[in-house]
Amino acid sequence: MKHWILLLIIFLLVLPVQAEELPEISAKSAVVLEYATGAVPYAKNAESRLPMASTTKIMTALVALESGNPSDTVTIGPNAVGVEGSSMYLKAGEQMTLEELLYGLMLSSGNDAAVAIAEHIAGSEAAFAERMTARAQELGCINTQFKNANGLPDDEHYTTALELARITGKALEHEKFREIVSTKSKRIGTRTLSNHNKMLSLYEGAVGVKTGYTKAAGRTLVSAAERDGITLIAVTLNAPDDWDDHTKMLDYSFSGMERRVITRKNTYAGIVPVEGGTMEVVHICFGADFSLSVVKTAETEIKMKLPPSVQAPVAAGQEVGSGEVLVNGVKMGEVPLLTAAVVEQETAPAFRDYLYMVFVRWIAIYIK
């Protein structure tokens, strides 16, 4: 009996560890994107064109922050009053700062705030929507088109989960955007604005970003979370159970990511030949630390870009090339390559021969 127990234990120990299965989610389309590298640890129909409802406002905020100043004064026009759907209840002639409108846009999901912002930046909502589409194109989002600034239904208003995640990644580069979407509640004059994004309370490390809903689009959600130096952006389109979907997707994706150290400053990187120096080669080292978040199965490498040789004299810390950091063959950055020592210039051969000849003659005279 003991032998059978021992064999069973050994059998269990050597069983291959199976990878975690993809989570079952309710969303018609979904993706998780790693913020720094663009790695995609999870995807489901991620490139299908679908309406995105109020998650549109992520691009509205991005264009506003790139085109205006948060301290700008905005006078509310009649077109921004009484807009259907969610609202921060603006009044015609009321004056607010662009920043205050951005809080109304992203926390209360104010469709009226979207119109006010659009008219302030571009003169009209239609002109602003054209800017939004153009900006999406610049970001490589060729399956995204905007017809308004708030996400109200329009057959020609659509995106994909993957492209919406990329747009969100760009928006998260703005500190003011991060500040706004991570705020749970904000007092603006007599208004108290509450963030509709429950992920801020439901999920550890959540930092935003936007909810959405229309009958045509269903429930849409973009969330972002940070853990151990890794930032993930999750998107679901047409997801009846979006809070649960995002929890599952983020948990799965965090478990499949790791922070990988690629280079450490001042560590050995190789050698390069020296021409006309007192040494034939000089050691080189990495000039900076470099680390990034990658899917655990990703292949990382450093492609060294060095000249065939360097000319003496060589100073310590002299930049002589760079190391390209590649993840699955895609460039993610560069690290400078520096010389680790001084190499003096070799004495000119003609002058050396002259000294030798003088020495020989001196010896000859001395011997006589």
* 71 noted as active-site residue: no
Q: Which residues of the chain have pLDDT under 50?
A: 1-19
Q: Is residue 140 classed exposed, middle or buried when 0-12, 13-18 and 19+ CB atoms within 10 A define those classes? A: exposed
Q: Residues 57, 147, 170, 248: which is the catalytic one?
A: 57
Question: Does residue 163 contact residue 143 with C-beta atoms inside 8 Å?
Answer: yes
3-state DSSP of 200-229: HHHCCCEEEEEEEEECCCEEEEEEEEEECC
| Cis bond before residue 307 (omega within 30° of 0) | no
Q: Note the CATH architecture for domain 261-339.
A: Sandwich (2.60)
> How far apart are the C-alpha atoms of 282 and 337, rounded to whole Å?
12
Question: Does residue 337 contact residue 322 with C-beta atoms inside 8 Å?
Answer: yes
Q: What's the confidence (pLDDT) of residue 292?
A: 86
Q: What's the confidence (pLDDT) of residue 259?
A: 87
Residues 6+ apart with CB under 8 A from 100: 188, 189
Q: What's the confidence (pLDDT) of residue 359?
A: 65
> How far apart are the C-alpha atoms of 72 and 205, rounded to whole Å?
32
Q: Residues 86, 109, 253, 322: which is the catalytic one?
A: 109
Q: What is the pTM of this model?
A: 0.79
Distance in angstroms between the alpha carbons of the first and the last residue of the chain: 103
**What is the residue type of 80?**
A
Residues 6+ apart with CB under 8 A from 179: none
Q: What's the confidence (pLDDT) of residue 37?
A: 84
3-state DSSP of 78-130: HHHCCCCCCCCCCCCCCEEEHHHHHHHHHCCCCHHHHHHHHHHHHCCHHHHHH
Cα 202 to its chain centre, rounded Å, is 23
CATH number of 29-255: 3.40.710.10
Q: What's the confidence (pLDDT) of residue 57?
A: 98
Q: For tokens 């993706």, what's the residue?
A: 31
> How far apart are the C-alpha atoms of 74 and 94, rounded to whole Å?
8
Within the chain, which residue ranges are assigned CATH 2.60.410.10? 261-339
CA distances from 266 to 44, 108, 272 (A): 43, 50, 16
Within the chain, which residue ranges are assigned CATH 3.40.710.10? 29-255
Question: Does residue 90 contact residue 119 with C-beta atoms inside 8 Å?
Answer: no
Question: Does residue 269 contact residue 337 with C-beta atoms inside 8 Å?
Answer: yes
> How far apart are the C-alpha atoms of 109 and 191, rounded to whole Å?
14
Question: Does residue 195 contact residue 221 with C-beta atoms inside 8 Å?
Answer: no
* 109 noted as active-site residue: yes
Q: Residues 29, 44, 54, 248: which is the catalytic one?
A: 54
Tokens of 333: 């950055």
Question: Does residue 219 contact residue 210 with C-beta atoms inside 8 Å?
Answer: no
* 248 noted as active-site residue: no
